Amino acid sequence: MKDRLLQWLVCPDCAGGLTLAVYRRQDNEVNEGTLQCQCGQIFPIIGGVPRLLCDPLSRNLPRLYPDFFQRHSDLLENQAKSAAIGVSTGNKATIDRFGYEWLHFSDYNCDNFDQFVASLPAEFFNGKLGLDVGCGAGRHVRQASRLGAEVIGIDLSHAVDAAHLNNIDNDRVHIVQADVYNLPFNNGIFQFIYSLGVLHHLPDPERGYRALPALLSKGGSLFIWVYAYALRKVALELLRFISQRLSNHNVRRMAYLCNLIDYGIFINTYRLLANLPLAGISIKRHSPLRVKEYANYGFSVGYTDWFDRLSAPITNYYRENEMQAWLQHGGLCKTVLRLEGDSWWWLYGERKA
């Protein structure tokens, strides 16, 4: 955790200010320590990442980071209070699945950020402070920082460990473990907020969306991508009915098999036919968008994406009228709703200046 991150953080429980206690520094970062609020909440900093989780989401921290809590056993009493409450089944599964995914597939290198931000002006990110909601292994925060932004990435799961390591030398990136329903930031501080393919995995996606506009500065921008209702995505629920009953390791095996079929039949057939002298032009024009996209990526990208599809405990798909309702309830101006391909909604809006 970089020292300047503290100026933007508040207690996710009461929105009070936080006091930093440093246990260990590594280079220019606080590697271990705590953030304490006057309300009594104590949030550990573990592996350079502040864990700003309210009860009971913090209950898994001692299990995941036993070495830290052995060194600082006085913090165990604080964690024990939340352990007695318990975490909902949905939250527990979400933390487990996505934490496993982004630690195992931390080298995921699908370079699709340009596609996500293609509708924005060329200099959109330059000089701004932004928030990435659901940062996973941290590839998008890295790309946004390269475009000139300073970015805070949050994730509910221990995927934040991969995001931190993937940006360890990046002075313009901060990683925080946090819950979108209890965000640990001052209102009105971000010039932009984005969430790319994340909110539709929440128990209540619209509630997560409505938590974000208050964090924008005047004139700040919010843009998200969520799943559109599409026949092929809904049909995927047949596979997910099986995968949701499997362990993470077995979902990996299932994802590998699905990807083997996907690439072996559809992607490689497209690659072969698209190179034909005359028919190739027509093949490229009329082939499904997802086939054309994956033809540009390697096998490992498809493998990761199949795991993502099969492992997510909750997936929601949305029709246009539902997305229009999101925009109406968000309180933003200059709103845009657009269908991207056959399976994504792009939502954009700005806080009134």
With tokens 């027509």, the residue in question is 282
Distance CA 190, CA 265 (A): 45
- Phi–psi pair at 100, nearest 5 degrees: -65, -45
List the single range of 118-122, 176-180, 290-294 with lowest mean pLDDT. 290-294
**What is the predicted pLDDT for the residue at 216?**
97
Would you say residue 301 has pLDDT above 50? Answer: yes
Cβ contact 111:82 at 8 Å? no
As a whole number, mean pLDDT of residues 287-291 equals: 83
Cβ contact 12:52 at 8 Å? yes
Overall CATH class of domain 113-230+318-350: alpha beta
| Residue partners of 260: CB distance under 8 A and separation at least 6 | none
CA proximity to 72, closest of 24, 18, 29, 28: 24
**Ramachandran quadrant class, 63 (left: phi over 0; alpha: psi -120 to 50; beta: rest):** alpha
> Sheet holding 344-350: strands in order across?
18-26, 29-37, 42-46, 49-52, 173-178, 150-155, 129-133, 190-196, 216-227, 344-350, 333-340
User: pTM here?
Assistant: 0.90
* Reported confidence tier of residue 85, pLDDT bands at 50, 70, 90: very low
CA proximity to 152, closest of 184, 182, 122: 184
Within a 10 A sphere around the Cβ of 214, how many other Cβ atoms?
Answer: 13
* Reported confidence tier of residue 279, pLDDT bands at 50, 70, 90: confident
Distance CA 175, CA 179 (A): 13
From the centroid of its chain, how far is CA 86? 23
Would you say residue 75 has pLDDT above 90? Answer: no
**What is the predicted pLDDT for the residue at 166?**
93
**What is the predicted pLDDT for the residue at 89?**
52
User: H helices then E strands: how many in the chain?
Assistant: 16, 11
**What is the predicted pLDDT for the residue at 321?**
95
Instruction: Return the percentage of the chain with pLDDT > 70, whole number.
Output: 95
**What is the predicted pLDDT for the residue at 94?**
80
**pLDDT digits over 164-222, tens only?**
999 999 999 999 999 999 999 999 999 999 999 999 999 999 999 999 999 999 999 99
As a whole number, mean pLDDT of residues 138-149 equals: 95
